[in-house]
Structure formats: C-alpha cells, structure tokens
Chain A
Amino acid sequence: MSARSSIRRAPLLTIYAALVFAFIYLPIVVLILYSFNRDGVGGFPPRHFTFEWYRQLFADGPIWDSVLNSLIVAAGSVALALILGLLAALALDRASFPGKALFRRLVLLPLILPGIITGLSLLMLAVFAGAQLSLLTVFLGHGTALISVATTELFAGLQKTDRAQEEASLDLGATPWQTFWRITLPNLKLSLIAAGLLIFTLSMDEIAVTFFLIGRDNTLPLEIWGRLRRGITPEINAVSTLIFALSVVLIVIWYRLRTRSLGAEAQELLERP
C-alpha cells in the first residue's frame, strides 16, 4: 500500500537527512582521499596524487603477516560461531529446558556489552587455565563473542522456514537426522552464508576483545594500532581504505543474501494493492 501512495515532500527534513548522511560518510571519504596524498595525512587541500603509500603497503611484510593471522582467526571464528550458533538457534527454537531464558540472554550478551568486559573476562579465564596468550586465545575470544551474531541470524532464518516441510519429511519416512541434512540445512543455506560473511567481516575488524587476548602474533587491527603509537603515515590510510573497501563489498553481499532469504514475503507485501 505504501508503495503506491504519494510521498509528500518535506524539504527541511530531506536536507537534514542529507547532512546526517554526510556526517556518517565524510570522515571515510576524507580518509580515502588522503591515502592518495603525497604530503601526508593532514593539511588542506590534498595535493599531489600518488600511489606511493599503496606501494609501501604492499611491500610491508609485517602488515601482511598480520593479515594472514587475521584470516586464520576469522576463518576459525566463522566455523566455530556458525556451528555453535546453529545449535544454539535450534535449541532456542525447538527445545525447552530449565534456564532457557538465562541461556538466551547469556548467548546474546557479548553483542551488547562493551568489548572490554568480554575481553577481560576471557583474559582471566586464560590465566586461570594457565594458557599462553596467542592467536588461539584470540580465536576463542572471537568465536565466543560472535556466536551471538550467528545465533541471531540463524534464529531469524529458522523462524522463516516452513515447519510443515520438516513434518512432511518425517511423514514420508525420513529420520530426524536425514531431515536435518536434507531439509533444514538447505533451507538455512542463505542464512548460513549471510551469517558467515558478517562474522568474517566482524572478526577481521575486531579490536576491543582482541586487545586483551593478543599474544606475540598480531592481527591486522592490532598491527595498525601498534603503528598508530609510533606515528601516523598515509600508509595507514591506504590499508584502512582497503579494509573499508573489502568490508563494504562483504557487507553488501551479506545484506543482499539476507533480504533474499526473507525475499518472498517482502515481495508479496510490496505487490499487494
């Protein structure tokens, strides 16, 4: 209905909204611009376009080591978070047990708690267990924090699936195990990919929790953080620009997948006269 009714103009609001958009994007635009600026990070206006900083970036060994570390951690986090998140989503959707409400809140807590709390509490666990801080502790930290993201996405995906399909499968003689692999999981395919993309991006960018769990090997955000202590160069702009560009691509794909998995319902709503 709303698609067909006339939208009334509100010029002041439109201008304000545009300004808010500008506020959200301007710093990033500026960051990207200055990654091509020969004369450094400050001053105005930027002169002398150059790729020098990108060249430096690509020759920078430690950065790429940290990228590799981040990739390893991210890949592991995706696997861990998706598996546990899927189980948690299934449990929340289908099982009832004492303490379920508490369980749901605990699972979702890392999403809304400041990273320092999650980071510190896990640090204390590591010390308690006598574990050395390393990429492993970082991986466990990311996985734990990001289960909440996986659970949320997959739970939403489960709610959208047609329960009758599973019932039909059982009715036709499949075991619950077969039903899970043949019916439930394929229905969740889009949600799983979407959740995986988001978790990957968040893990690559994660800094607050990582801060307290990092050992000798840096992840990319922490490598940059260390550089910042030593002084700013546009090389950091360059790597930030690349991070931003990649994140945007992944996020847009994530969003498209998500709306596609909710797609049919939304399409219907838009087409009803």
Chain B
Amino acid sequence: MSSSAANSLNETSAAPGALLEAREVVKHFGKIQVLKGVSLNIASGEFLTLLGESGSGKTTLLRLVAGFEQPTAGEIWMGGERLDTLPPHKRRVNTVFQHYALFPHLSVRENVAYGLRVKKTAAREIGGRVDEALRLVKMQDFAASRPAKLSGGQQQRVALARALVNRPQLLLLDEPLSALDANLRKQMQGELKALQREIGITFLFVTHDQEEAMALSDRIALLRDGALEQVASPREIYKHPATAYTAQFIGQTNLLRGEIHRSIVTCGVLRWPVENEDGPAIFSLRPEAIRICADGKRQTNEVKFRGAVRQQIYSGASELLEVDCGSSQLLRVRLTACGPLTGESEFVFSLADAIRVKE
C-alpha cells in the first residue's frame, strides 16, 4: 500500500487521540458469525469496557486485538499502524487472562520478568522494573513464591504485574475478576480503577457484569449478538439508553410499549403528551424515577397513576415494589424507606424520565 493511500485512510477515520481503532471487524467461526462488522475507537488513557452476555462477541473482539484470532474481514489499527496483521508477540499489547495463566514452573519474580527476558532486556534493568511492578500490585513479598502457593486474588495481581511491567500501549483484561468471590471482587475493582488512573495506560476490559462495567469504565461498549448496541459513558448509557435491550441490560427498567396518536402516547393505563409522530413506541422508565404522590397533586410535567402494591421487596437502602395499575399492567417502583404499603396508592413520575428507546 502506498504511503499516501495509508495516510488518507488514517485521516478519514482516525478520531483525535484514538489509540485503537477497529474498523468493520467481522469474525466467523465456521458457519457462525460471532462479530458482525464492529467499528470502535478507544482513546489513549481511556478505560473502556466491552460489556455483553456470553456469546455477544466481547471476548472474541478482545482476542482479535490480542492477536490470538484473525479477523475474517475488517481491520484493526493501533497508533496509526495496522495491528491485525502482526503476530501476538510483536504487538505492544498485553493481556491479563481470565484464569491468570501464570507459568507454574516459574516463580512470581520470573513470571513477571518473562516479557522482559524474552526481549533480551539487560539483567540490571529487569530487576528494577520487576520490583517496581510487584510494588504496584502489592506483591513484593511474594517474589520468590510459586504461583501454586498463591490465592486467586494474589495470582490475579501477579498476572497484572506481569502484563504491566512491559509498559504496553494497551492492556487487555479478559474478565479478570470473575473467578473471585464477591467481596474480593469489589475490592479489586477499586484497586484496578485507581491503578489505571495512576499509570495512565489504556485499558480494554471485558465483563458480563454490568455493575462492574458501570463502576470501572470511562466508556462502556455494549455488545449484543456480535454487534455494538451502544457506546457511551456509564452515566449516559444509564440515563439515555438507546434501545430496549440496553435499558434492560444495564440497571433495571420498566419497558412501556404503546401507541402514539396525535401527540399523545398511550401505554396501558398511562397517557402523556409527546412530540413524536404517530405510531408504535417504546419507553424506558427507571423504577427509581417513580415516587409516591403524597399530596395527590400532579405538576404539568408529571404523569400520575394509581396502583395496588402486589409485592414489596426490602433490601435495606431501598424497596422495590411491584405495582398493579389495572388491566394487568405491572410497574416496578423503587422507593426509599416507605414502610409497608397496602391497598392502592398514587404514584407520579416526570415526563422527562420516560425515555424513548428503539426496539
């Protein structure tokens, strides 16, 4: 490819500050199409999470960036150069594997030093960098241990150190916390986030846990059946989900399906004015957006409805109610400290909280 053609390709699609670009990446495994033309940019220094169910293609995409698979079609570029044509050992990308993949026959120190040894780094330099990496993950006391003697959390830190010591341009993390128990997981999430802030390396993180994605990411890329559903910051994706799938996958929601006629939408017993054209529509309404109408009054930009509380699930900080609004329309409502409710109550929500979503 001539340099001018290469340059023009760069100019047309490079977003400013983009470290990694996936361009229309397609991946087939035999007859199954796992990725259906995914295009994604990752900014330098960003913490981007690939979120999705199993089978959504998130791990496949990660492996394509790492180099363990080749794209069937499309390209991957990093730092202005073509990445997907390079074998994995030539890429300035390192991976933290789901089950750590620590070398059992090497000590922790030797594991971390592996990438440096392989590139024939000077012995003096290796010692210093390995110590630095171990300190970063707080494993400096375990340098002489074998991986078999470490707990899951400890192995995970060593895997992290082993990857980071090489100062990669991009760090890939393949569901690294999924094998840990809940408390350790939360703790590691905090540490991981702080670490990324501190060293500033771009992180590409894969998980199926939407809470984890929300807690850690600068941006979330939600994958569904091999295609990108939505790419946005956690706040954005939560407040303004683009599709019904996104609204339901991230957090909880009420999906209101209805019909718009003459600027009024009717979803079951609920009706409110909208500015859209006639036709079917779906709206996402988060449970926490609904509150009890204590004084029976309704503001102009609010919708009021009545309903009988069928179920009430208490979880300490809040309660989740299942409210029957009549003609078998059930809504979920999240309230803080309302005490047990019986019979019918009046509820209200703001118009602005009913977000229109695509199917």
Contacts and interface: CB of A to CB of B under 8 A. Distances in A.
> Is there a contact between chains A and B in the complex with CB atoms less than 8 Å apart?
yes
Given A6-B70, A273-B59, 8 more contacts: A4-B29, A5-B63, A5-B68, A5-B69, A6-B68, A6-B69, A273-B54, A273-B55
Contacts of B54: 273
Nearest to B68: A5
B98 to A, nearest CB: 10
A272 to B, nearest CB: 10
Interface residues of B, number: 8
B357 to A, nearest CB: 29
Interface string B58-70: 0100010000111
10 contacts: A4-B29, A5-B63, A5-B68, A5-B69, A6-B68, A6-B69, A6-B70, A273-B54, A273-B55, A273-B59
A141 B244 CA distance: 75
A96 to B, nearest CB: 27
A205 to B, nearest CB: 39
Interface string B24-57: 0000010000000000000000000000001100
A4 B30 CA distance: 9
Interface of B: 29, 54-55, 59, 63, 68-70
Contacts of A5: 63, 68-69
Consensus secondary structure, chain B interface: loop
A4 B70 CA distance: 11
A6 B72 CA distance: 12
Q: Interface extent on A, as a size class?
A: under 10
A5 to B, nearest CB: 6
Interface string A127-146: 00000000000000000000
A269 to B, nearest CB: 14
Interface of A: 4-6, 273
Consensus secondary structure, chain A interface: loop
A6 B69 CA distance: 6
Contacts of B70: 6
A6 B55 CA distance: 18
B56 to A, nearest CB: 11
A198 B313 CA distance: 63
Nearest to B87: A8
Contacts of A4: 29
Contacts of A273: 54-55, 59
Contacts of B55: 273
Nearest to B70: A6
A157 B185 CA distance: 39
A28 to B, nearest CB: 36
Contacts of B63: 5
A73 to B, nearest CB: 47
B206 to A, nearest CB: 13
A5 B29 CA distance: 9
The 8 closest A-B pairs by CB, nearest first: A5-B68, A4-B29, A6-B70, A6-B69, A5-B69, A273-B54, A273-B55, A5-B63
A4 B59 CA distance: 12
A6 B63 CA distance: 11
Nearest to A5: B68
A7 to B, nearest CB: 11
B71 to A, nearest CB: 11
Nearest to A4: B29
B201 to A, nearest CB: 26
A270 to B, nearest CB: 13
Nearest to A8: B87
A227 to B, nearest CB: 53
Nearest to A3: B29
Contacts of B59: 273
A200 to B, nearest CB: 40
A137 B54 CA distance: 62
A70 B70 CA distance: 57
Contacts of A6: 68-70
A6 B67 CA distance: 10
A233 B177 CA distance: 70
A6 B70 CA distance: 8
A12 to B, nearest CB: 17
A273 B208 CA distance: 15
Contacts of B68: 5-6
B89 to A, nearest CB: 12
A5 B63 CA distance: 9
A273 B55 CA distance: 8
A177 to B, nearest CB: 42
B97 to A, nearest CB: 11
Nearest to B63: A5
Contacts of B69: 5-6
B91 to A, nearest CB: 15
A38 B271 CA distance: 98
Of the candidates A4, A5, A6, the one having the most CB atoms from chain B within 10 angstroms of its own CB is A4
